[in-house]
Amino acid sequence: MLAVMFDRFTDRAKRLMSASRLIALQFQHEYIAPEHLLLAMLSQPSGIERILTHLQIDSAALLADLTGRCHPGAHPVTASQLPFTPAAKRVLECTLKECAMAQANHIDADHVLAGLVVAEDSIAAQALKSAGLTIERLRPLLGGSEDPAAPERDNRRCRLLLISNSTMHGGGYLEHCATEIRDFLGARKRVLFVPYALANHDEYAARAATAFTAFGHELTSAHRTRHPLAELQTCDAVFIGGGNTFRLLNALYMTRLLEAIADRARHGMPYIGSSAGTNVATLSIRTTNDMPIVQPPSFTAMSLVPFQINPHYLDPDAHSKHMGETREERLRQFHEEHATPVLGLREGCLLRVEGERLELRGTTRARLFLRGQPAQEHTPPCDLSFLLQLRR
């Protein structure tokens, strides 16, 4: 029953399941229980925030209460798969029933929340009851339409500078795109830097600060502030640097910055991404070149543009004796599973988005891959605004 049920989960609900496993591991528990599901909902954007706000339930107080009810295990857990407890399975059964009652086609996080409330015999249910959440208050708010994990997002106010690479051969950090960054940001800005793609945050932040000071801007690194989400609300722009895309996306989920940055970008805050920072601005990180050194809750990214990007795109070397797949072959394999267009950005080129206009800029060409069609070459400067009209 569970396998069939998971097929109906939205991406947001799937991320919730993955996050609950990570939380169980943090508590050194060898199982996934109802409290782990609720902690996952409260610890990352899950879609229930609007419900709790509408019902005037303090999510921070609920999180603190629930955390206080959970007791860590005695030993670290190394198992790659964790079983659901009987109580958690009961929650999922109730979730399915609540979804059916709401006449929803997909199972989202709010349906899981309803399952937690209905399945009363759990720590999570006790905490929800103490917070004043009852199924009678919740049911009128449950979604009953199409998959809410893929809403029609309004990106018409976005200002994005998506750079393929941070460093060009023979040049310094961001030197090859310095003019573009200066022109994009304009007058002096307070820039929030997100360093999570590399392990040494201090060193990375120092390198970025040197570059942005030379550009005439003030840069603060997210890892050096106690409240990154609050800092995000007061900054003028965001820069997310390159490194490992899986590590970056995982950190963005864990710090709750992913949706928060995307929301500000959709309201016009300038966003600059380089390499991994460019990857996370797209629909997903499925077309990154990086190794999955960590497992993020989902591959789903910010969806600031409705297509995929492959930074550092490399052309096949006709003289190479290497027998592995070329970059183009790997992207063709992506299209065997997905229909989303992929734009291969060679090192030296970048994209600038100003509302509904998308321009290819830089010194090298980009290669556009469309499912079932020959690849197309685009030479900067050129207008690629048609890509913004695409849908998943």
The C-alpha atoms of residue 115 and residue 32 are separated, in whole angstroms, by 15
Order the strands of the 376-378 sheet from edge to edge: 308-310, 342-345, 366-369, 376-378
> Which contiguous run of DSSP H or E holds residue 383?
strand 382-383
Residue from 59, 65, 312, 338 carrying the catalytic annotation = 312
Closest among 274, 293, 66, 308 to 177, alpha carbons compared: 274
Residue from 122, 275, 284, 298 carrying the catalytic annotation = 275
Query: Helix or strand or coil: residue 132?
Result: coil
Residue from 46, 217, 290, 298 carrying the catalytic annotation = 290
User: Tokens 């019902």 correspond to what residue?
Assistant: 55
**Residue 154 annotated to the active site:** no
Closest among 212, 234, 113 to 166, alpha carbons compared: 212
The C-alpha atoms of residue 95 and residue 44 are separated, in whole angstroms, by 20
**Residue 290 annotated to the active site:** yes
Q: Phi first, then psi: what are they for 343, rounded to 5°?
A: -105, 115
For 103, 107, 114, 192, 297, the CA distances from 11, given in Å and listed in that order, are 19, 10, 18, 28, 10
Given a contact cutoff of 8 angstroms between Cβ atoms, the answer to whether 196 and 247 are in contact is yes
Length of the chain as a residue count:
392
The C-alpha atoms of residue 92 and residue 385 are separated, in whole angstroms, by 43
Given a contact cutoff of 8 angstroms between Cβ atoms, the answer to whether 307 and 268 are in contact is no
Cβ count within 10 A of residue 159: 18
**Residue 145 annotated to the active site:** no
Question: Would you please indicate which residues are annotated as catalytic (active-site) residues?
Answer: 275, 290, 312
